[in-house]
Structure 1
Amino acid sequence: MLPNLLRTLGALLLLVSVAQAQFQFFEQMFGGGGGRQEQQRASQNVPSDSSRYQSMWEGSRCDKYLCPGTLACVHFPHHCPCPHSDVEEKVELGEGSAVCVSKGGYKPGEAARKIELARKGLL
Structure 2
Amino acid sequence: MPGVTPKAGGGPRRVRLAISRIDPWSVMKLAFLLSVAIAIMTVVATVVFWSVIDSLGVFDKIQTFVTDAIGEETNFNVMQYVEFERVVSLSTLVAICNVVLLTALATIMTFLYNITAALVGGVHMTLTDD
Q: TM-score surpassing 0.5?
A: no
Q: Which has the higher helix share?
A: 2
TM-score, structure 2 normalization = 0.28
Q: Which has the higher contact order (CA 8 A, sep 6+)?
A: 2
TM-score, structure 1 normalization = 0.29
